[in-house]
Structure 1
Amino acid sequence: MDSLRAEADALEAEIKALRRACVELPAPGEDTSPVRQSFQDIYQSDSEGWESLKDLRSHLGHVESELQFLSSLTGISIRNYSKKMEDLTSTEMTEKNIKKVLQRHRLSGSCHMITFQLEFQILEIQNKENLSSVITDLSIIMEPTEYSELSEFVSRTEERRDLFMFFRSLHFFVEWCEYRKRTFKHFKEKYPETVHLAKGASSSYMGIRSHSRPEFELVIVWRIQIDEEGKVLPRLDLLTKAPLSALELDKNRVIETAPLSFRTLLGVLGIEATLESLIKSLCTEEQVPTQ
C-alpha cells in the first residue's frame, strides 16, 4: 500500500512538472538553448559594433572631405600634429571642484610656398560654472625667410599669441604674393625686351627700361605689408632713374612728381592698368607687345 502511495506521489509530481514546462514553453521560433542564446547576444553585439564602425568611417570621410575643401579654399595644409596634456590640478583645487589642464600642441604645415612650424600651449581652467582657456605660449618658425615682411609679423603674432590672426594674415599674404608673381610674369611675357625682373617673377620689384634710352628707367617696388592688426595690404612705389641732363631739362618737374602721380593713377586705374600705361608710355613706339 505504501509503495503504491509513493508511486502515485511520484507520478503526480511528474505531471506537475510537465504542466509547468507546458506553461513556460517559449514562443514558436524562439531558441531555448542557453548556449545558442548567448551566441545570438554576442552576434547582435558585434553587429552593433560593425554599424558603429561604419558610422565612424563615414564621419571620418566627411571630415576629410571638409579638410580638403578648406585646404583648397585657404591654401593652408596641416601635415603633422601632436598633442600632450598635463593635469595641473592641485589638492586644494580638487576640493573646490576646479580642474586645471595644460595642453601642449605641435603642428607643421604649409600655405602654398611657405612652410611653418607651430608650438603653443593652452591653459584650461574648469569649474562648476564655466570653462576658460587661454594661449600661454606661442612659437613660430617659417621658411623661406626671404619674405622680410613676415619677420615682423611673426614677432607680433608670438607676442600677442594670436593663432587666428596668424592663419588669416598668412593666407592673404600668400594670395597677394601669388598675384604679384602672376602680374610680373604677365608683363614680362608681353614686353620681354622692356620689362626686367632681376630675381624672376618672384621678385618684389620690376624694372621698365627703354631699349633706345637705357639710361632712363622706371622701377616698380611692390611690397606686401601686414599692419598691427594683421591686415594685409599691397604697397606699390615708383622709383625713377634718369641722367642729370634729363633732370635739368625737365622744367615741369615731371620726373620729380612721377611717384606721386603714380600713386594717384593706382587709385583710379588699379594695379594692372597702371603698370600697362607706364610701359606703353615709355616704349610702345619701339616695341610691339607679344601676343
Structure 2
Amino acid sequence: MITFQLEFQILEIQNEESLSSVITDLNIIMEPTEYSELSEFVSRAEERRDLFMFFRSLHFFVEWCEYRKRTFKHFKDKYPEAVHLSEGASSSCMGVRSASQPEFELVIVWRIQVDDEGRAVPKLDLLPRVPRRALELDQNGIIEAAPVSFQALLGVLGIEAALESLIVTLRRGGRLVPTQ
C-alpha cells in the first residue's frame, strides 16, 4: 500500500469556443515507503504537472512491485536453504548462496524504473559476492562476467526461469559459464 497526498492548482481558460484546464502547480506528498525507486518518478510528474502520468505510472509500478514480491517469496519458499531476503518479503534484493561454498553468494537486485514517458520497467542486476581468494583464482574472468551473463540469461529465459536457473546452478555447486 502506498499512501500519498496531492495538492494542485488548476487554471481554467475559457474562450468563446471551449473551456480548458491546465494544472499550474502540483505537489505530491508521499509517506516514507520501502520503494526507494518512487522519488525520482514523483519528482518528474511534479515537474511536468502530469497527473495522468503519475497515476498510470504508479499503477504499473505497484504491479511490478507485487510481481517482484511474489517471485522472491516463491523462490524463498521453494529453496529456503539457498535463498534469503535481507529485507523480508518486500525486499528488492534476493541473495542466493552456494550449497557447496556458503561464502560464495550471488545477489539479485531488482529495481523498478519509471522512464521519461512514465513506463514502469523491471531492471535486474546480479552482484557476485565472493572471497578475494576466489577472485584471484578466477583466471578466466567468470566471476567478473557473471553480471553480463545474467543479463543474457534474462533476455533468453525471462525473469522467473533465469532466477530458477541461477538458483539451481548454485545449489548443485555448478559452474557459471559466461556467454560469448
TM-score, normalised to structure 2, is: 0.91
- Is structure 2 residue 7 aligned with structure 1 residue 119? yes
- State the match for 1:250 in structure 2: 138
C-alpha change, 1:284 and 1:211, in structure 2 (3 Å) is closer
Instruction: Tell me, in whole angstroms, the C-alpha distance in 2 between the residues paired with 1:163 and 1:136.
Output: 12
- Is structure 2 residue 35 aligned with structure 1 residue 152? no
Q: Please list, as runs of the form range in 1=range in 2, the aligned pairs for 1:1-291 lying within 5 A after superposition.
A: 113-284=1-172
Calculate percent identity across the aligned residue pairs: 79
* Aligned-partner residue type, residue 73 of structure 2: K
SS at match of 1:178: helix
Instruction: Tell me, in whole angstroms, the C-alpha distance in 1 between the residues paired with 2:73 and 2:37.
Output: 22
Query: Structure 2 regions of 5+ residues with no counterpart?
Result: 174-180
* Aligned-partner residue type, residue 178 of structure 1: E
Q: Is the 8 A contact 1:195 1:208 kept in 2?
A: yes
CA apart distance, 1:130: 2.0
Q: Which runs of 4+ in 1 moved over 2 A?
A: 143-146
Query: Structure 1 regions of 5+ residues with no counterpart?
Result: 1-112, 286-291
Q: Is the 8 A contact 2:100 2:172 kept in 1?
A: no
Instruction: Tell me, in whole angstroms, the C-alpha distance in 1 between the residues paired with 2:20 and 2:167.
Output: 57
Structure 1 residues 107-131: Cα deviation after superposition (integer angstroms, max 9, x where no partner): xxxxxx1111111121112122222
* Aligned-partner residue type, residue 256 of structure 1: E
* Aligned-partner residue type, residue 92 of structure 2: S
Over alpha carbons, which structure has the higher Rg? 1
TM-score, normalised to structure 1, is: 0.57
The structure, 1 or 2, with the larger RCO (C-alpha pairs under 8 Å, 6+ apart) is 2
Q: CA RMSD in A?
A: 1.3
Q: Is the 8 A contact 1:222 1:234 kept in 2?
A: yes
Q: Is the 8 A contact 2:92 2:110 kept in 1?
A: yes
Instruction: Tell me, in whole angstroms, the C-alpha distance in 2 between the residues paired with 1:174 and 1:143.
Output: 15
SS at match of 2:22: strand
Instruction: Tell me, in whole angstroms, the C-alpha distance in 1 between the residues paired with 2:148 and 2:15.
Output: 60
Instruction: Tell me, in whole angstroms, the C-alpha distance in 2 between the residues paired with 1:245 and 1:139.
Output: 51
CA apart distance, 1:245: 2.3
Instruction: Tell me, in whole angstroms, the C-alpha distance in 2 between the residues paired with 1:133 and 1:248.
Output: 64
CA apart distance, 1:165: 0.1
| Greater fraction helix | 1
Q: Is the 8 A contact 1:114 1:144 kept in 2?
A: no
Instruction: Tell me, in whole angstroms, the C-alpha distance in 2 between the residues paired with 1:195 and 1:174.
Output: 24
* Aligned-partner residue type, residue 77 of structure 2: E
SS at match of 1:193: coil
